[in-house]
Amino acid sequence: MAKRQGSSKKKILELLEILAFAFILSWGLRSAVVEASTIPTPSMSPTILINDRILVDKLYFKFSGIHRGDIIVFNPPKNLANPTGDPWIKRVIGLPGDTVQIEDGKVLVNGQALSESYEMAKPDYNYGPLQIPKDSYFVLGDNRNASYDSHYWGALPAQNVEGRALFRYWPLKEFGLLAKQ
């Protein structure tokens, strides 16, 4: 009987070790490699809709940098209200050193109008010009007229970027990569 109790304690200890390892591995992957996120607003419509579920790749930018057209997940600048504390998602429009202006329904980067097939509607506002500071980005939602983005609060500090939207896994009918368009 004593042998059986020792065996049970050993199995419980092994199970606790496995659970602890799984928790540490899961936490490590989530904080450094990939994280699931749910979209709470229509600011990225029609590309990403409310309640879509995406995976955020947190390693990509460490190796390849951020490019115009990337969809990024970030923490909003500290001076903005963020009641939920959740990260935000927008598309990169302006890179460090670029001059961004929005005029007559066109987004201009360094004086050239962008061709944006992903845009829900042309912007109904004017903005800028603004030269993007070093280590910052200009981000806009694809739903330009219903997005709280850089045209309200200016450039996004690079240190706020968490990662890029890699792919949508829900709803299943929309499953796939969220590549630049």
Question: Which DSSP symbol is given to 125?
Answer: S
Is the CB of residue 142 less than 8 Å from the CB of residue 122?
no
Q: Of these residues, 45, 90, 147, 150, which one is catalytic?
A: 90
- Strand 161-170 and strand 71-74: the pairing is antiparallel
What pLDDT score does 16 carry? 64
| 3-state DSSP assignment of residue 117 | coil
pTM for the whole structure: 0.80
Quick check: is 43 catalytic? yes
What pLDDT score does 145 carry? 95
Structure tokens at 15: 């199970």
CA distances from 13 to 22, 25, 148 (A): 14, 18, 50
Is the CB of residue 71 less than 8 Å from the CB of residue 91?
yes
What pLDDT score does 35 carry? 81
Quick check: is 90 catalytic? yes
Per-residue pLDDT of the chain (181 residues; tens, 9 = 90+): 555 566 777 777 776 666 655 555 455 555 555 788 888 889 999 999 999 999 898 887 777 889 999 999 999 988 887 777 788 999 999 999 999 999 999 999 999 999 999 999 999 999 999 999 999 999 999 999 999 999 999 999 999 999 999 889 889 899 888 865 4
Closest CA to 139 of 148, 127, 128, 126: 148
Give the residue carrying structure tokens 């496995």.
18
